[in-house]
């Protein structure tokens, strides 16, 4: 009888070891509700609430307006921080850091969207040019 209990424990332990660790972390990762609003110059503002998994890119898009593609990645850990990404068509846009991605911290963030392409590679302009603000993203989670 003791032998069957030991064999049962060994069988359960071996099954647990065969389960990929990534699937366990996916099951324990709870979705985070993200409320956002996007205000673009000359367009109707839109807002929504989505559920995003930590450490995974999550789309913040308006299905009726395919000209802007926003993504958010919320990083797991003790500090509340994440990254926003943007891609605009047909007119390029970027954030105030002149890039298509920007880091933010805190549970609430407001980020300006500026006209013009994001810098690519290691190219740096010698002249600082002022780019007009064409929109704003507000995030709360």
Looking at the predicted structure, is the pLDDT value of residue 132 above 80? yes
Token digits for 23? 């699937």
pLDDT, position 124 = 59
Q: What is the pLDDT of residue 122?
A: 56
Average pLDDT of the chain to the nearest whole number: 79
- Residue 16 clears pLDDT 90, i.e. is over it: no
Tens digit of each residue's pLDDT (9 = 90 or more) over 54-72: 999 999 977 777 888 999 9
Percent of the chain that is helix, strand, coil (3-state, to 5):
20, 40, 40
Phi, psi of 18 (to 5 degrees): -80, -20
Whether residue 107 contacts residue 130, with contact meaning beta carbons closer than 8 Å, is answered with no
Q: What string of H, E and C letters represents the secondary structure of 22-43?
A: HHHHHHHCCCEEEEEEEEECCC
Residue-range domain boundaries for the chain: 30-140
Confirm whether pTM is higher than 0.75: no
Query: Interior CA angle at 20 toward 15 and 26, to 5°?
Result: 120
Q: Encode burial over 101-136: b for 16+ CB neighbours within 10 A, e otherwise.
A: ebebeeeebebebbebebeeeeeeeeeeeebeebbe
More confident residue, 130 or 83: 83
């Amino acid at each position: 009888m003791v032998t069957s209990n030991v064999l049962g424990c060994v069988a359960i332990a071996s099954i647990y070891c065969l389960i990929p660790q990534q699937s366990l972390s996916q099951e324990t990762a709870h979705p985070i509700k993200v409320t956002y609003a996007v205000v673009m110059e000359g367009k109707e503002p839109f807002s929504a609430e989505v559920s995003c998994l930590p450490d995974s890119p999550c789309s913040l898009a308006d299905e009726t307006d395919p000209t802007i593609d926003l993504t958010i990645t919320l990083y797991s850990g003790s500090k509340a921080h994440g990254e926003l990404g943007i891609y605009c068509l047909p007119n390029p846009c970027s954030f105030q850091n002149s890039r298509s991605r920007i880091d933010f911290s805190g549970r609430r963030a407001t980020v300006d969207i500026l006209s013009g392409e994001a810098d690519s590679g290691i190219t740096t302009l010698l002249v600082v040019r002022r780019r007009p603000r064409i929109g704003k993203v507000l995030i709360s989670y």
